[in-house]
């Protein structure tokens, strides 16, 4: 029996989110079917957490225990040949039997992408929220900084959240502007990527943060109002939930050097 830790990238467009659910067609289902096709094992994989319908991942992790005698370095290619092209396993290694992806995911980074050029980009339609009109990006950056630290993020969580505590830590958050798809046009502001690294994220948390920051960028709110919203601990104090397709689980960092048996 081996406990295998893998990293996976997926385009979430065609799936009902990561985690298995009654309607089916989830990323988890498809990966478990690929494992079944490879080893004949009907098993459940454990991920660092769920992602919502339409959300993408560049660096999701998951683990599962298998009795198959496949060396870890062969797993990626063996699974990828059975997976659709919108799901790609990029790393596989053996870890100790007590390793658990959700418990060991110490820091997660999400990226949210806003296309602030005048027109949509036909090459990134699935991965960008296209924003019409001017955005004050430096005001958005100022608002974002108010969310750093350890706080109760109730204002930035779905009202349906059932978590016992809404206290999380945001370690780092920054914005990058990519002008490679822009033209020499005053209404082309570039593609704005927002990266947020935290201990964990509540349901819709990044999307509500982004919906609030977009209001800051539009001048509908001040950067300071982000702090006010945070202190309120009330969902109504924050902005709307930004669309899912701009969101990508960018990276999951493990505090798990001691768990790795071999790479």
Q: Which residue's CB is nearer to a copy of itself, number 50 or number 111?
A: 111
In DSSP terms, which residues pair with 249 in a beta bridge? Answer: 57, 110
CB of 227 to a copy of itself, least distance (A): 31
Question: How far is residue 44's CA from residue 213's CA, in Å, rounded to a whole number?
Answer: 37
CB of 117 to a copy of itself, least distance (A): 8
Tokens 């750093």 sit at which residue?
A: 148
Question: How far is residue 10's CA from residue 56's CA, in Å, rounded to a whole number?
Answer: 6
Q: Is position 110 annotated in a ligand binding site? A: yes
CB of 163 to a copy of itself, least distance (A): 30
Enumerate the active-site residues: 52
How distant is the alpha carbon of residue 167 from its chain centre?
19
226 with 211: CB under 8 angstroms? no
In DSSP terms, which residues pair with 87 in a beta bridge? Answer: 10
Residues that bind a copy of itself (CB under 8 A): 7, 9-11, 56, 58-59, 76, 80, 85-91, 118-123, 125-127, 181, 183, 185
Q: Which residue's CB is nearer to a copy of itself, number 112 or number 127?
A: 127
Question: How far is residue 140's CA from residue 142's CA, in Å, rounded to a whole number?
Answer: 5
Detail the residues annotated as belonging to a binding site: 110
Binding annotation for substrate: 110
């Amino acid at each position: 029996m081996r406990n295998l830790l893998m990293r996976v990238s997926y385009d979430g467009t065609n799936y009902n989110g990561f985690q298995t659910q009654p309607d089916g067609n989830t990323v988890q289902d498809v990966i478990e079917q690929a494992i079944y096709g490879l080893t004949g094992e009907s098993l459940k994989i454990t991920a660092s957490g769920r992602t919502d319908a339409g959300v993408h991942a560049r660096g999701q992790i998951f683990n599962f225990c298998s009795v198959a005698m496949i060396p870890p370095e062969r797993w990626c290619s063996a699974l990828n040949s059975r997976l659709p092209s919108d799901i790609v396993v990029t790393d596989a290694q053996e870890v100790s039997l007590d390793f658990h992806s959700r418990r060991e995911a110490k820091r997660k980074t999400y990226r949210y992408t806003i296309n602030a050029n005048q027109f949509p980009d036909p090459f990134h339609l699935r991965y960008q929220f296209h924003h019409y009109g001017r955005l004050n990006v430096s005001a958005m950056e100022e608002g974002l900084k108010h969310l750093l630290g350890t706080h109760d993020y109730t204002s930035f969580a779905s009202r349906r959240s059932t978590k016992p505590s809404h206290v999380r830590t945001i370690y780092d958050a920054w914005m990058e502007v990519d002008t490679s798809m822009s033209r020499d046009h005053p209404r082309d502001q570039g593609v704005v990527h927002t990266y947020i690294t935290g201990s964990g994220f509540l349901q819709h948390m990044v999307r509500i943060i982004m919906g609030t920051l977009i209001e800051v960028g539009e001048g509908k709110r001040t950067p300071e109002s982000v702090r006010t919203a945070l202190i309120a601990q009330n969902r109504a104090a924050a902005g709307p939930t930004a669309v899912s397709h701009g969101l990508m689980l960018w990276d999951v960092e493990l505090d798990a050097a001691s768990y790795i048996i071999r790479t």
